[in-house]
Structure 1
Amino acid sequence: MKRIAFLAATMLAATAAHPASAQVLGEDAGACSGGRGSAIQAEITGLKDRTGRLKLELYPATEEDFLKDDRDLVKEGKTFRRIWANTPPSGAVVMCIRVPGPGEYAVLFTHDRDGKNKFDFWTDGAGFPSNQRLGRSRPKLRQALVHVGNGVTTVNIRAQYLRGLGGFGPLN
């Protein structure tokens, strides 16, 4: 009887960890459900549509390294990680990315609507954990920072798209 109660409690806790009907996306999904190591679980809202692919990238939390070319970061032995997932046709969007350990990191989300693996300013979307309006300027490091402890750290990221002369912002 104790075993059944334990299993029920475990299943309830796993369901509460992310929105109902959400499947955790990306090759690191197990890091957010397995409970081993450190990871960031990003709950994405505000997608313009359900086309293309979704990308989550992890950078060092320094101005010098934020949004730096991934090949340079890897060559220099610095933290960089990228995960991709197909955009689900419906339901909540939750992505998971492993991190090397507790600490401060910068996170970038992009919605590659045409699937060409190259950011298209006119059609693709982007977002950061601060959810501040991006506008027309290059994103600031402070907009992307996440403090990660032991285990899974959950952040909410609202996708933003080009909104005319004002630059990038949420759809509504």
Structure 2
Amino acid sequence: MATYRRGVMLAAAALGATGAALAAAPGAAQVLGQDAAACAPGAPGPAILASVSGIKDRKGTLKLELYPATEEDFLAGDKKLLEAGKTFRRIDVAPPASLAGEICIRVPRPGRYALFLGHDRDGKRKFNFWSDGAGFPSNHKIGRAKPKLVDSLIDVGPGVTRATIRMQYLRGLGGFGFAD
């Protein structure tokens, strides 16, 4: 019994130390993606640091995509945009264990862009209305309509521009909505 109690006390002490270390480092969340260095303190930018919440699960991949801020180019195919010499950038990351996190994406120059976050849950690299999720900087509820350019617009300055994106998934007859 004494050995068991001692083990429990050691485990509790270890958890307490870990909790104290986490509490001592607020805001130390890991920035995800191959562009993470572009959002580090003192980085010259321009870049977007997207705080993401409401991720349904850890299946598949999160894709943060940057588009030109035009109706014609918003959500157009990446090959088409790149062949035309237009802005397109994608950051692919695994969903974080906490189902919330920060993703950094470099931007070619300050200006207005369209930003889309997709959750490709089935891994087919094509949006599946029935299972995949979507999010935009406006956090406007998508519902049953096609996403609108105005909901995805973001003005990027010379440094790191912050955005907050809540993921949305199909929620029955009402269309897409927030899980939380």
- Alignment TM class, shorter chain as reference: 0.7 to 0.9
Corresponding position of 2:20: none
Q: What is the identity percentage for the equivalent residue pairs of Structure 1 and Structure 2?
A: 61
- Deviating beyond 3 angstroms after TM superposition, the runs of 4 or more aligned structure 1 residues are none
1:132 aligns with 2:143: no
CA contact (8 A) 2:54 2:99 kept: no
TM-score in terms of structure 2 length: 0.82
Q: In structure 1, what is the Cα distance between the partners aligned to 2:99 and 2:133?
A: 18
1:83 to 85, 91, 101: 91
Corresponding position of 2:53: 45
Q: In structure 1, what is the Cα distance between the partners aligned to 2:135 and 2:35?
A: 19
* Cα displacement string for residues 58-96 of structure 1 (whole angstroms, at most 9, x for unaligned residues): 000011111111111111111000110111222641000
Q: In structure 2, what is the Cα distance between the partners aligned to 1:21 and 1:55?
A: 22
The 1:91–1:167 alpha-carbon spacing in structure 2 relative to 1, beyond 3 Å, is closer
- How far apart are 1:21 and its partner, in Å? 4.7
**Where in structure 2 are there 5+ consecutive unaligned residues?**
1-24
Q: In structure 2, what is the Cα distance between the partners aligned to 1:52 and 1:31?
A: 25
- CA RMSD, Structure 1 to Structure 2 (Å): 1.5
Corresponding position of 2:106: 98
* Cα displacement string for residues 142-172 of structure 1 (whole angstroms, at most 9, x for unaligned residues): 0000000011000000000001111111013
**Where in structure 1 are there 5+ consecutive unaligned residues?**
1-14
Q: In structure 1, what is the Cα distance between the partners aligned to 2:110 and 2:100?
A: 26
Count of aligned pairs: 155
Read off the aligned partner of 1:43 and give its amino acid letter.
S
